[in-house]
Amino acid sequence: MKLSQRIQSIPPYLFATIDEKKAEAIQKGLDIIDLGIGDPDLPTPDQIIDAMTLAIRNPSNHQYPPYQGTLAFREAVSRWMLRRFNVSVDPKQEVLSLIGSKEGIAHSFLAFLDEGDVALLPDPGYPAYHVNALIAGGVPYSVPATEATGYEPDLDAIPLDVVAKAKLLFLNYPSNPTGAVASDAFFEKAIRFAKQHHILICMDLAYSEVYFEGRRPRSILEFPGGKDVAIEFHTLSKTFNMTGWRIGMAVGNATAVQSLGKIKTNMDSGIFKAIQEAVIPAMDQPDAIIDAQNAIYQARRDIIVDGLNGLGWSLSKPSATFYIWAPIPRWATNSAEFTIDLLDKTGILVVPGNGYGALGEGYFRISITSPTERLHEAIHRLQTHQIRY
Ligand SMILES: *Cc1c(COP(=O)(O)O)cnc(C)c1O
């Protein structure tokens, strides 16, 4: 068998590798505390399960869905954008259903890049951007978005010859893995940059509903000119603990949304109609669900951040996402060795920062998608093993 050059150029997906490490550790008999992958441990809300049990009984839901999503779902998305962000999107032109946002993100590189075109990607950033730029034949260019610049990329520092070849800029706020949110000034600057250089902004808003102390993350479409230059990826995976269901949506610039739709109609056949139907009531009245969930995440965040700070770290508390991004201890050699050593000694699984790009080296990411007792236990194990910053 001769594989394509494309497949030989792509590394295995980060979490596939981590799953192997986890399986080895379990084999050795370790009691693993999994703070690795960002997959909510909380169940999908009952309201959605109840609506699904009805929707699945309706035979008309068993057939192929419309490619762009049912009109009822797209209208619900439009109401969601208006209620939550005060942004109007036309359900017929500016909304597209996605089989989870990772699907839309992956296909966007095929829709917007030609062979050799540059994709500007945050480093550290969600690994799917880099790999999918490669799969599409594009050239990923890492834009530093590190602590030094407040986790915002310095767009002016990108060399002009790179900018000239760039077709798209991926942004992700609130950020996975850093938990950072962007300032309003940065959103405005990114829009000016995109206009000036004819670059499409792909905004990944996977964590729009995971936030604390009422600090609600913003959509780039709220800003003047945003819809001229941006497509935004939303998902119900993190919002309603539905990672296994696969439902998300793209909204924003009509040309961009429809171009992505054109790729998709040739690649997939949409989301199970029963799922699209089942989420609508929760999308229309999400506040109680989201507030209760965020109270849980906030308590967990405080256990980890206070716990690590008690061990010599000096972390501030992120205002959004269920991630804590922390430097590896001063005595550790690098991210990979630290996380393997941590797993061997304590059974605590975290993700090495370099998995999110070269500039994530020296950091690790903790996902607080485990119950509070397990988080207390993790801090306790760090204390017992004298693992300090
Ligand atoms: C989880 C995640 C996604 C993808 O979620 P889906 O389940 O595919 O909707 C996209 N972007 C980021 C940054 C994520 O963390």
Mutate to test the pocket of ligand 1, among 126, 240, 268, 367 (most ligand atoms within 8 A of CB): 126
Decide if 140 contacts 130 (C-beta within 8 A).
yes
Ligand 1 midpoint to CA 386 (Å): 34
Same domain as 23, residue 131:
no
Ligand 1 midpoint to CA 104 (Å): 10
Same domain as 268, residue 228:
yes
Q: Give the pLDDT mean for 16-41.
A: 89
What pLDDT digit, counting tens, does each position of 330-354 carry?
Answer: 999 999 999 999 999 999 999 999 9
Query: Residue 19 — pLDDT band, cuts 50, 70, 90?
Result: confident
Of 259, 306, 8, the residue nearest 112 (C-alpha) = 259
Q: Is the CB of 126 under 6 A from ligand 1?
A: yes
Statement: residue 15 has pLDDT above 80: no
Ligand 1 midpoint to CA 66 (Å): 23
Q: Is the CB of 365 under 6 A from ligand 1?
A: no
Q: What is the rounded distance in angstroms from the CA atom of residue 147 to the CA atom of residue 250? A: 29
Statement: residue 10 has pLDDT above 90: no
Looking at the CA of residue 235, tell me the nearest atom of ligand 1: 9
Structure tokens at 86: 């005060």
Looking at the CA of residue 175, tell me the nearest atom of ligand 1: 13
Q: What is the rounded distance in angstroms from the CA atom of residue 3 to the CA atom of residue 161? A: 33
pLDDT for 13 equals 72
Same domain as 207, residue 304:
no
Same domain as 32, residue 57:
no
Q: Is the CB of 107 under 6 A from ligand 1?
A: no
Q: Is the CB of 131 under 6 A from ligand 1?
A: no
Statement: residue 7 has pLDDT above 90: no
Same domain as 174, residue 157:
yes
Same domain as 226, residue 81:
yes
Does residue 311 form part of some domain? Answer: yes
Same domain as 182, residue 64:
yes
Same domain as 226, residue 266:
yes
Task: Work out whether strand 363-367 and strand 351-352 pair parallel, antiparallel, or are unpaired.
Answer: antiparallel
Same domain as 151, residue 167:
yes
Supply the CATH number for residue 27's domain.
Answer: 3.90.1150.10
Statement: residue 12 has pLDDT above 80: no
How many structural domains is the chain composed of? 2
Ligand 1 midpoint to CA 131 (Å): 14
What pLDDT digit, counting tens, does each position of 173-194 carry?
Answer: 999 999 999 999 999 999 999 9
The mean predicted confidence, pLDDT, of the chain is 96
Which of residues 238, 266, 285 is at a domain's end?
285
Does residue 345 form part of some domain? Answer: yes
Domain range for residue 369? 5-43+288-384
Ligand 1 midpoint to CA 262 (Å): 22
Does residue 323 form part of some domain? Answer: yes
Same domain as 38, residue 57:
no
Same domain as 209, residue 80:
yes
Statement: residue 14 has pLDDT above 80: no
Which of residues 285, 311, 330 is at a domain's end?
285
Which of residues 224, 252, 285 is at a domain's end?
285
pLDDT for 112 equals 97
User: Which protein residue has the closest C-alpha to ligand 1 atom 2?
Assistant: 206
Query: Residue 317 — pLDDT band, cuts 50, 70, 90?
Result: very high
Does residue 93 form part of some domain? Answer: yes
Does residue 130 form part of some domain? Answer: yes
What pLDDT digit, counting tens, does each position of 192-207 carry?
Answer: 999 999 999 999 999 9
Statement: residue 383 has pLDDT above 80: yes
Same domain as 107, residue 22:
no
Supply the CATH number for residue 77's domain.
Answer: 3.40.640.10
Query: Residue 329 — pLDDT band, cuts 50, 70, 90?
Result: very high
Looking at the CA of residue 242, tell me the nearest atom of ligand 1: 7
Ligand 1 midpoint to CA 102 (Å): 5
What pLDDT digit, counting tens, does each position of 75-110 carry?
Answer: 999 999 999 999 999 999 999 999 999 999 999 999
Does residue 389 form part of some domain? Answer: no
Q: Is the CB of 276 under 6 A from ligand 1?
A: no
pLDDT for 110 equals 97
Does residue 343 form part of some domain? Answer: yes
Query: Residue 137 — pLDDT band, cuts 50, 70, 90?
Result: very high
Q: Is the CB of 100 under 6 A from ligand 1?
A: yes
